[in-house]
Structure 1
């Protein structure tokens, strides 16, 4: 048996090893779309599915926004985002995966990224992206009659066949990979003959995507304003057609290099980072204003979230507020993020909850709201949180999560307790397997200090039950290895 750290080779593993070592789909989609369109045509407009505006920012720490203890204390108030928080539900225990690629995969598939071959940020031009076998939230919503668009960062595939317009989005504009590649063109010794620069791209469903321009430092400063502009234009077009829409605005700030738009340079007097925060708040406000101007506020679900914890590298270091750590680690600061959701008349305003929610829950929850389908032919780790979000219950539909760092099951959270099987201080620190796992009570030890460990070993019972259930699912549905090419067919399935 292989341990968790060896999962990219032998995909079988056990609970004991964790402690001790650490085109049928397309046809179905068409059928769903036809049935949904017929049903929607018979519904009065007020009963049609809600629009969805999902604003996902990149590497924003838990403590950066005013409503989470930041804002002015970080050099720039965030009044528009703070107001959004007061108009719906604010979560204080929203968990993402620890890196950009896996968190975006989890949001769109409802599955832990370890299942999908997307457990790590791909570096150095290696094979990357979701296989076409995966069904995304955009594909499900599209089959349910939604217009879909992604404007911003993708990070789930770099080439035609694995870009947003290949995974359910009618249109897209943005960058396929990571923002720090904008630094390449101006770097000493860089040559595009050795490593081609990242391109800003755009594409439409059914057509190859095309390169628009090189993503350099000038474009890095300009791109979020363009993402905002295009997201608003998409919502305007759909509002005229009365068709429900999914506008996925994946802003690139504050990912390094954290450089504000020229219109915001010097605006706060507190440096680039604060100017960027002011720009982010402005862009969010522009999209919220568009929803109001179009008269669709009451029929639009608005979500604001970060994809993982804050930046680690200086001079762009972020802040996780009361939590320890940054992204690429299993500390609370690496996974616990801001999350706001507004849906007037459905999601009670002014509500704050510390109940556990995970990125994988967003697919089944939004699908429920939209009347869309969730795949039934594969493990879905997400749970439907619609009753919790709408206030029908005060309790989350889950009480724990698995925390993956790359292909390692690094920790598990259950209620207010947390078990670490590996110790890794920062993103550049080597992960060390622990002979005896670390055990914390996050209520009494939110910083996860080792000298405040608890000895309540009974907690391993529910924790290992969660691990065991995941293990059992991998025997029937093996994990997809990173870099798996298309076409992918699960073992035992008909090609």
Structure 2
């Protein structure tokens, strides 16, 4: 998609972006709970130390209040578009029977960075459309390899009576910009075990090629672990002696270390932004369920365990090392932040919910550029966070529970009640004032820019643009 007319000219002042554009290595993992890594209280306590990730956490900024949307598709949509997924019709994991994923009208971070001269690639899980026209190479990535949907489909082959003629198995695919993607092989349980090692290898190969070409790159290593079934690579199976989950954690740490070593070997360390994050909270499905650390709940819910995730960013000489912050940040902020740093543009013809966090990340400001977030679960505004307070409008204990509208919203102080225990309800109703302003601002924006319904086919044009 051409961005002309839809973007500002970028953060125009020349001094706003460095003369040499930084590379971006974005390592995104799937359903890693807040408490899994050593730097977040896990690691050895989960059966496997995570030395490479812990070291990365100390080499830059580590956030303790990074928030994502609570499901895979919405979180990936929000990070790549800078918009709450409710706006894009991507507010829930798709289950088939309708067009799925992002419409071509949406502008992604990859498209913006590509327009700014970056080589772009995604290796791994996509989950934002599985048909030609809505695959990564249709949404700004020069090349991609991975799975269009999600890892649990590898379990089809272990299901009694599985009939591929009624439900085709997921395929591992690859594609290049301007071409149709092609199917390579079936994503079964054997391939599930091998996938992340292959994604790591391809990510490194991409960085090597761009380093040789002296071209800035955006490499999105969208790893599939620890999404269920949590099965480690055969090289790591049994390596910890503490089961598949710990073996997977050791494998993840190793894979990240391999990519970091490649950055160093290529002489790119000082000019490469490395981001590590999880797409949402901990895995829920047993026996693969993860750990949310001090927080309540897991993914598919508005509890902190569903939305608060590990996040670290390293950029030597720009992002101060050994810094930890509990300031609120949301996944939607990544697009405007990275666009500002890279000298790229952000769409001006639609609401952008993300805010530029470059001053906060680089230490020029000790405060986040936001004080609160809206928390959507499916198409419901389930909660609002503002500073250390959180207001729940629905009760939903886990992904299997039906949401129940609360007659009186439940207000929690996350400092004194991190588990969001209903018996510790706060009655300081003054804090609902700024929360209601946030909701009002969102609702006002929807009146001017209606939400895109889930299942909307291409071509899509917003109602105002569609008028003669």
| Interval of TM-score (by shorter of Structure 1 and Structure 2) | over 0.9
3-state SS of 2:221 partner:
strand
Q: In structure 2, what is the equivalent of residue 408 of structure 1?
A: 380
**Aligned partner (choices 350, 368, 374) of residue 340 of structure 2:** 368
Deviation at 1:127, TM superposition (A): 2.3
3-state SS of 2:192 partner:
helix
Does 1:311 pair with 2:247?
no
Q: In structure 2, what is the equivalent of residue 351 of structure 1?
A: 323
Deviation at 1:125, TM superposition (A): 4.7
Distance 2:18 2:340 in 1: 17
Unaligned runs of 5+ in 2: none
Q: In structure 2, what is the equivalent of residue 66 of structure 1?
A: 38
TM-superposition CA deviations, 1:85-114 (whole Å, max 9, x none) = 000000000000000000000000000000
3-state SS of 2:302 partner:
coil
TM-superposition CA deviations, 1:326-358 (whole Å, max 9, x none) = 000000000000000000000000000000000
Q: In structure 1, what is the equivalent of residue 365 of structure 2?
A: 393
Q: In structure 2, what is the equivalent of residue 79 of structure 1?
A: 51
Is contact 2:6–2:349 with CA below 8 Å preserved after alignment?
no
**Aligned partner (choices 257, 268, 272) of residue 240 of structure 2:** 268
Q: In structure 2, what is the equivalent of residue 459 of structure 1?
A: 431
**Aligned partner (choices 119, 136, 146) of residue 118 of structure 2:** 146
3-state SS of 2:224 partner:
coil
Does 1:474 pair with 2:446?
yes
Alignment of 1:331-342 (within 5 A): 331-342=303-314
Is contact 2:382–2:394 with CA below 8 Å preserved after alignment?
yes
Q: How many residues align?
A: 466
Is contact 2:7–2:347 with CA below 8 Å preserved after alignment?
no
Is contact 2:110–2:139 with CA below 8 Å preserved after alignment?
yes
Does 1:450 pair with 2:422?
yes
Q: In structure 2, what is the equivalent of residue 219 of structure 1?
A: 191
Distance 1:292 1:27 in 2: 36
3-state SS of 1:173 partner:
strand
Alignment of 1:166-315 (within 5 A): 166-315=138-287
TM-superposition CA deviations, 1:160-180 (whole Å, max 9, x none) = 000000000000000000100
Distance 2:9 2:381 in 1: 36
Deviation at 1:27, TM superposition (A): 4.7
3-state SS of 1:174 partner:
strand
Is contact 1:184–1:197 with CA below 8 Å preserved after alignment?
yes
Distance 1:202 1:304 in 2: 23
Is contact 1:29–1:143 with CA below 8 Å preserved after alignment?
no
Q: In structure 2, what is the equivalent of residue 489 of structure 1?
A: 461
TM-score (norm 2): 0.97
TM-superposition CA deviations, 1:387-419 (whole Å, max 9, x none) = 000000100000000000000000000000000
What is the root-mean-square deviation in Å for CA atoms of aligned residues?
1.9
Is contact 2:238–2:244 with CA below 8 Å preserved after alignment?
yes
3-state SS of 1:263 partner:
coil
3-state SS of 2:392 partner:
strand
Q: In structure 2, what is the equivalent of residue 11 of structure 1?
A: none
Deviation at 1:124, TM superposition (A): 3.9
Distance 1:123 1:68 in 2: 33
3-state SS of 1:340 partner:
strand
Q: In structure 1, what is the equivalent of residue 75 of structure 2?
A: 103
Q: In structure 2, what is the equivalent of residue 122 of structure 1?
A: 94
Unaligned runs of 5+ in 1: 1-22
3-state SS of 2:464 partner:
coil
Deviation at 1:28, TM superposition (A): 4.6
Q: In structure 2, what is the equivalent of residue 380 of structure 1?
A: 352
Judged with a 3 Å threshold, the aligned counterparts in structure 2 of structure 1 residues 31 and 88 are, in CA distance, closer, same or farther, namely closer
Moved over 2 A (4+): 25-33, 124-127
Judged with a 3 Å threshold, the aligned counterparts in structure 2 of structure 1 residues 144 and 46 are, in CA distance, closer, same or farther, namely closer
Judged with a 3 Å threshold, the aligned counterparts in structure 2 of structure 1 residues 29 and 380 are, in CA distance, closer, same or farther, namely closer
Judged with a 3 Å threshold, the aligned counterparts in structure 2 of structure 1 residues 244 and 29 are, in CA distance, closer, same or farther, namely farther
Is contact 2:197–2:255 with CA below 8 Å preserved after alignment?
yes
Is contact 1:201–1:211 with CA below 8 Å preserved after alignment?
yes
Is contact 1:150–1:173 with CA below 8 Å preserved after alignment?
yes
3-state SS of 1:492 partner:
helix
Is contact 2:66–2:329 with CA below 8 Å preserved after alignment?
yes
3-state SS of 2:324 partner:
strand
Judged with a 3 Å threshold, the aligned counterparts in structure 2 of structure 1 residues 30 and 165 are, in CA distance, closer, same or farther, namely farther
Deviation at 1:426, TM superposition (A): 0.4
Is contact 1:30–1:143 with CA below 8 Å preserved after alignment?
no
TM-superposition CA deviations, 1:251-302 (whole Å, max 9, x none) = 0000000000000000000000000000000000000000000000000000
TM-superposition CA deviations, 1:11-69 (whole Å, max 9, x none) = xxxxxxxxxxxx7x455589979xx9xx99xx9x9821100000000000000000000
Deviation at 1:189, TM superposition (A): 1.1
Judged with a 3 Å threshold, the aligned counterparts in structure 2 of structure 1 residues 231 and 435 are, in CA distance, closer, same or farther, namely same
